[in-house]
Amino acid sequence: MKQRPRIYYSEGQKAVMWDRWQQGESLHNIARLFDRGHSAIHRILSETGGIRPLQRVRSSLALSLLERDEISRGVVAERSMRSIAASLGRAPSTVSREIRRNGGCQGYRASQADQAAWHQARRPKSCKLACNPALARIVAQKLKMFWSPEQIAGWLKCTYPQDENYQVSPETIYRTLFIQTRGAVKKELLQHLRRTRGMRRSRHHTQKTDDHGRISNAISISERPPSVEDRAVPGHWEGDLIIGKRNASAIGTLVERSTSLSRFLCKNLVLSYQFESITSRSVQGSR
Protein backbone atom coordinates (compact mmCIF):
# COMPACT_ATOMS: atom_id res chain seq x y z
CA MET A 1 0.00 0.00 0.00
CA LYS A 2 1.45 3.33 -1.06
CA GLN A 3 2.02 5.72 1.81
CA ARG A 4 0.41 9.11 1.42
CA PRO A 5 2.63 12.18 1.88
CA ARG A 6 2.43 13.95 5.20
CA ILE A 7 0.33 17.11 5.30
CA TYR A 8 1.42 20.23 7.17
CA TYR A 9 -1.82 21.96 8.10
CA SER A 10 -2.17 25.72 7.89
CA GLU A 11 -3.42 27.86 10.75
CA GLY A 12 -6.77 28.17 8.95
CA GLN A 13 -7.12 24.38 8.69
CA LYS A 14 -6.24 23.97 12.34
CA ALA A 15 -8.86 26.58 13.23
CA VAL A 16 -11.47 24.49 11.37
CA MET A 17 -10.40 21.43 13.37
CA TRP A 18 -10.74 23.25 16.66
CA ASP A 19 -14.11 24.76 15.70
CA ARG A 20 -15.48 21.33 14.82
CA TRP A 21 -13.98 19.76 17.95
CA GLN A 22 -15.54 22.41 20.20
CA GLN A 23 -18.89 21.85 18.49
CA GLY A 24 -18.73 18.24 19.65
CA GLU A 25 -17.85 16.46 16.41
CA SER A 26 -15.85 13.23 16.52
CA LEU A 27 -12.28 12.80 15.29
CA HIS A 28 -13.52 10.58 12.45
CA ASN A 29 -15.93 13.23 11.17
CA ILE A 30 -13.27 15.94 11.29
CA ALA A 31 -10.76 13.68 9.53
CA ARG A 32 -13.15 13.13 6.62
CA LEU A 33 -12.98 16.84 5.81
CA PHE A 34 -9.26 16.49 5.10
CA ASP A 35 -9.38 12.97 3.62
CA ARG A 36 -7.22 11.66 6.46
CA GLY A 37 -7.45 9.13 9.26
CA HIS A 38 -8.62 10.18 12.70
CA SER A 39 -5.10 9.65 14.10
CA ALA A 40 -3.84 12.64 12.06
CA ILE A 41 -6.37 14.92 13.74
CA HIS A 42 -5.74 13.35 17.15
CA ARG A 43 -2.03 14.17 16.84
CA ILE A 44 -2.76 17.87 16.49
CA LEU A 45 -5.51 18.15 19.11
CA SER A 46 -3.69 16.03 21.69
CA GLU A 47 -0.65 18.35 21.73
CA THR A 48 -2.61 20.66 24.03
CA GLY A 49 -4.78 17.96 25.60
CA GLY A 50 -7.87 18.79 23.55
CA ILE A 51 -7.79 22.35 24.93
CA ARG A 52 -7.78 25.01 22.23
CA PRO A 53 -4.71 27.24 22.55
CA LEU A 54 -5.29 30.94 22.83
CA GLN A 55 -4.89 32.89 19.62
CA ARG A 56 -1.81 35.07 19.67
CA VAL A 57 -2.39 38.79 19.14
CA ARG A 58 0.32 41.33 18.40
CA SER A 59 0.61 44.06 20.98
CA SER A 60 -0.47 47.52 19.86
CA LEU A 61 2.72 48.91 21.46
CA ALA A 62 5.04 46.75 19.33
CA LEU A 63 6.50 47.89 16.03
CA SER A 64 4.55 46.72 12.99
CA LEU A 65 6.02 45.32 9.78
CA LEU A 66 5.26 48.59 7.99
CA GLU A 67 7.17 50.54 10.62
CA ARG A 68 10.11 48.15 10.32
CA ASP A 69 10.05 48.64 6.54
CA GLU A 70 10.27 52.38 7.13
CA ILE A 71 13.20 51.85 9.49
CA SER A 72 14.94 49.66 6.89
CA ARG A 73 14.53 52.33 4.18
CA GLY A 74 15.79 54.98 6.58
CA VAL A 75 18.88 52.92 7.38
CA VAL A 76 19.64 52.46 3.65
CA ALA A 77 19.20 56.22 3.12
CA GLU A 78 21.59 56.82 6.06
CA ARG A 79 19.06 58.91 7.94
CA SER A 80 19.62 59.61 11.62
CA MET A 81 17.83 57.67 14.38
CA ARG A 82 15.95 60.81 15.45
CA SER A 83 14.78 61.49 11.90
CA ILE A 84 13.46 57.94 11.48
CA ALA A 85 11.81 58.01 14.91
CA ALA A 86 10.13 61.36 14.19
CA SER A 87 8.60 60.05 10.95
CA LEU A 88 7.19 57.05 12.83
CA GLY A 89 6.06 58.94 15.91
CA ARG A 90 8.30 56.75 18.07
CA ALA A 91 11.05 57.48 20.58
CA PRO A 92 14.62 57.53 19.18
CA SER A 93 15.59 54.86 21.76
CA THR A 94 12.95 52.49 20.30
CA VAL A 95 14.43 52.77 16.81
CA SER A 96 18.01 52.52 18.10
CA ARG A 97 17.20 49.40 20.16
CA GLU A 98 15.35 47.81 17.20
CA ILE A 99 18.32 48.23 14.86
CA ARG A 100 20.92 47.17 17.43
CA ARG A 101 19.20 43.88 18.35
CA ASN A 102 18.66 42.89 14.69
CA GLY A 103 22.08 43.07 13.05
CA GLY A 104 22.88 46.75 13.25
CA CYS A 105 22.84 49.19 10.36
CA GLN A 106 24.72 46.77 8.09
CA GLY A 107 22.51 43.70 8.62
CA TYR A 108 19.04 45.03 9.47
CA ARG A 109 16.21 43.38 7.49
CA ALA A 110 12.60 44.32 8.20
CA SER A 111 11.02 40.90 7.56
CA GLN A 112 13.63 39.04 9.60
CA ALA A 113 13.34 41.52 12.45
CA ASP A 114 9.54 41.17 12.46
CA GLN A 115 9.71 37.35 12.57
CA ALA A 116 12.28 37.46 15.36
CA ALA A 117 10.15 39.84 17.42
CA TRP A 118 7.06 37.63 16.96
CA HIS A 119 9.02 34.57 18.09
CA GLN A 120 10.67 36.27 21.06
CA ALA A 121 7.34 37.64 22.27
CA ARG A 122 6.30 34.13 23.30
CA ARG A 123 6.74 34.04 27.05
CA PRO A 124 4.63 31.11 28.29
CA LYS A 125 3.90 31.30 32.00
CA SER A 126 5.37 28.44 34.00
CA CYS A 127 2.87 25.97 35.42
CA LYS A 128 2.34 26.37 39.16
CA LEU A 129 2.70 22.64 39.80
CA ALA A 130 5.97 22.56 37.83
CA CYS A 131 7.38 25.42 39.92
CA ASN A 132 6.28 23.88 43.22
CA PRO A 133 7.34 20.19 43.44
CA ALA A 134 5.94 19.85 46.97
CA LEU A 135 2.50 20.94 45.79
CA ALA A 136 2.77 18.59 42.82
CA ARG A 137 3.49 15.66 45.16
CA ILE A 138 0.44 16.48 47.28
CA VAL A 139 -1.77 16.63 44.19
CA ALA A 140 -0.36 13.33 42.90
CA GLN A 141 -1.00 11.62 46.25
CA LYS A 142 -4.61 12.79 46.31
CA LEU A 143 -5.16 11.72 42.70
CA LYS A 144 -3.90 8.23 43.56
CA MET A 145 -6.57 8.19 46.30
CA PHE A 146 -9.10 8.85 43.51
CA TRP A 147 -9.85 12.40 44.64
CA SER A 148 -11.21 14.66 41.93
CA PRO A 149 -9.35 17.91 41.06
CA GLU A 150 -12.28 19.83 42.57
CA GLN A 151 -11.89 17.95 45.87
CA ILE A 152 -8.13 18.49 45.88
CA ALA A 153 -8.46 22.24 45.24
CA GLY A 154 -11.08 22.57 47.99
CA TRP A 155 -8.99 20.59 50.48
CA LEU A 156 -5.88 22.66 49.78
CA LYS A 157 -7.81 25.88 50.29
CA CYS A 158 -9.09 24.67 53.67
CA THR A 159 -5.76 23.20 54.77
CA TYR A 160 -3.57 26.14 53.69
CA PRO A 161 -5.91 29.16 53.86
CA GLN A 162 -3.09 31.67 54.36
CA ASP A 163 -0.54 30.18 51.94
CA GLU A 164 -1.38 30.75 48.27
CA ASN A 165 1.71 28.77 47.24
CA TYR A 166 -0.17 25.63 48.31
CA GLN A 167 -3.42 26.51 46.59
CA VAL A 168 -4.27 25.53 43.03
CA SER A 169 -7.39 25.64 40.90
CA PRO A 170 -9.07 22.48 39.51
CA GLU A 171 -8.48 23.75 35.96
CA THR A 172 -4.72 23.92 36.58
CA ILE A 173 -4.74 20.28 37.68
CA TYR A 174 -6.75 19.21 34.64
CA ARG A 175 -4.51 21.14 32.23
CA THR A 176 -1.37 19.72 33.82
CA LEU A 177 -2.71 16.20 33.35
CA PHE A 178 -3.87 16.77 29.77
CA ILE A 179 -0.85 18.81 28.61
CA GLN A 180 2.10 16.57 29.40
CA THR A 181 4.69 19.05 28.11
CA ARG A 182 4.32 20.86 31.42
CA GLY A 183 6.07 17.91 33.06
CA ALA A 184 4.62 18.44 36.54
CA VAL A 185 2.63 15.22 37.04
CA LYS A 186 2.80 11.86 35.30
CA LYS A 187 0.36 10.84 32.59
CA GLU A 188 -0.40 7.61 34.45
CA LEU A 189 -2.42 9.64 36.96
CA LEU A 190 -5.11 10.14 34.29
CA GLN A 191 -6.44 6.68 35.12
CA HIS A 192 -7.42 7.94 38.58
CA LEU A 193 -9.82 10.56 37.20
CA ARG A 194 -13.56 9.91 36.99
CA ARG A 195 -13.17 9.88 33.22
CA THR A 196 -9.89 8.41 32.07
CA ARG A 197 -9.78 9.91 28.57
CA GLY A 198 -6.45 11.33 27.50
CA MET A 199 -7.69 14.74 26.36
CA ARG A 200 -10.60 17.06 26.96
CA ARG A 201 -13.78 16.72 24.96
CA SER A 202 -16.28 19.45 24.18
CA ARG A 203 -19.31 19.76 26.44
CA HIS A 204 -21.36 19.43 23.27
CA HIS A 205 -19.85 16.04 22.42
CA THR A 206 -22.21 13.09 22.49
CA GLN A 207 -22.16 9.56 21.13
CA LYS A 208 -25.93 9.61 20.63
CA THR A 209 -25.73 10.49 16.96
CA ASP A 210 -28.14 9.34 14.27
CA ASP A 211 -25.79 6.60 13.05
CA HIS A 212 -24.30 5.52 16.38
CA GLY A 213 -24.81 1.83 17.11
CA ARG A 214 -26.56 1.19 13.82
CA ILE A 215 -25.71 -1.39 11.21
CA SER A 216 -24.75 0.13 7.88
CA ASN A 217 -27.14 -0.67 5.01
CA ALA A 218 -29.32 -2.73 7.35
CA ILE A 219 -32.65 -4.16 6.17
CA SER A 220 -35.45 -3.60 8.67
CA ILE A 221 -37.46 -6.56 9.92
CA SER A 222 -40.59 -4.68 8.88
CA GLU A 223 -39.60 -5.20 5.24
CA ARG A 224 -39.88 -9.00 5.29
CA PRO A 225 -42.47 -10.55 2.93
CA PRO A 226 -46.04 -11.29 4.11
CA SER A 227 -45.48 -15.04 3.62
CA VAL A 228 -42.85 -14.90 6.34
CA GLU A 229 -44.89 -12.67 8.60
CA ASP A 230 -47.95 -14.96 8.86
CA ARG A 231 -45.82 -18.12 9.39
CA ALA A 232 -47.91 -19.99 6.81
CA VAL A 233 -45.00 -21.23 4.68
CA PRO A 234 -42.33 -23.41 6.35
CA GLY A 235 -38.65 -22.97 5.65
CA HIS A 236 -38.13 -19.45 6.98
CA TRP A 237 -35.59 -19.24 9.79
CA GLU A 238 -35.07 -16.42 12.28
CA GLY A 239 -31.59 -16.04 13.73
CA ASP A 240 -30.12 -14.31 16.76
CA LEU A 241 -26.60 -13.87 18.13
CA ILE A 242 -25.73 -13.75 21.82
CA ILE A 243 -22.29 -12.42 22.71
CA GLY A 244 -20.70 -13.33 26.04
CA LYS A 245 -18.83 -11.26 28.58
CA ARG A 246 -15.96 -9.15 27.15
CA ASN A 247 -16.70 -10.56 23.70
CA ALA A 248 -14.90 -13.76 24.71
CA SER A 249 -17.64 -16.13 23.58
CA ALA A 250 -20.70 -16.22 21.38
CA ILE A 251 -23.61 -18.49 20.57
CA GLY A 252 -26.07 -18.30 17.70
CA THR A 253 -29.68 -19.50 17.61
CA LEU A 254 -31.95 -20.39 14.68
CA VAL A 255 -35.72 -20.83 14.98
CA GLU A 256 -37.93 -22.07 12.13
CA ARG A 257 -40.88 -19.66 12.20
CA SER A 258 -43.53 -22.15 11.16
CA THR A 259 -42.68 -25.16 13.35
CA SER A 260 -40.58 -23.40 16.06
CA LEU A 261 -37.79 -25.91 15.45
CA SER A 262 -34.62 -24.60 17.08
CA ARG A 263 -30.94 -24.91 16.26
CA PHE A 264 -27.94 -23.80 18.29
CA LEU A 265 -24.75 -22.71 16.54
CA CYS A 266 -21.91 -22.98 19.01
CA LYS A 267 -19.28 -25.06 17.20
CA ASN A 268 -16.48 -22.88 15.80
CA LEU A 269 -18.51 -19.78 16.65
CA VAL A 270 -16.95 -19.07 20.03
CA LEU A 271 -13.67 -17.75 18.60
CA SER A 272 -15.03 -16.20 15.43
CA TYR A 273 -18.37 -14.45 15.12
CA GLN A 274 -17.65 -12.25 12.15
CA PHE A 275 -20.30 -11.83 9.50
CA GLU A 276 -18.91 -14.50 7.16
CA SER A 277 -18.63 -17.11 9.93
CA ILE A 278 -22.16 -16.48 11.18
CA THR A 279 -23.62 -16.63 7.68
CA SER A 280 -21.97 -19.92 6.78
CA ARG A 281 -22.89 -21.56 10.09
CA SER A 282 -26.49 -20.35 9.79
CA VAL A 283 -26.85 -21.88 6.33
CA GLN A 284 -25.44 -25.18 7.56
CA GLY A 285 -27.65 -25.17 10.64
CA SER A 286 -30.86 -24.58 8.66
CA ARG A 287 -30.32 -27.68 6.52
Sorted by where each begins, the domain ranges of the chain are 11-48, 65-120, 128-192, 228-285
What pTM, to 2 d.p., does this model score? 0.50
Q: 238 φ, ψ to 5°?
A: -115, 125
C-alpha to C-alpha distances, 179 to 23, 144, 185, 204, nearest whole angstrom = 21, 19, 10, 21
Q: Which of 134-138, 145-149, 206-210 has the lowest mean pLDDT?
A: 206-210
pLDDT in tens, 197-222: 777 777 666 656 666 666 667 777 77
pLDDT score of 271 more than 80? no
Give the whole-angstrom CA distance, residue 208 versus residue 211. 8
225 — alpha (psi -120 to 50), left (phi > 0) or beta? beta
Q: 251 φ, ψ to 5°?
A: -140, 140
Give me the percent of the chain exceeding a pLDDT of 70. 80
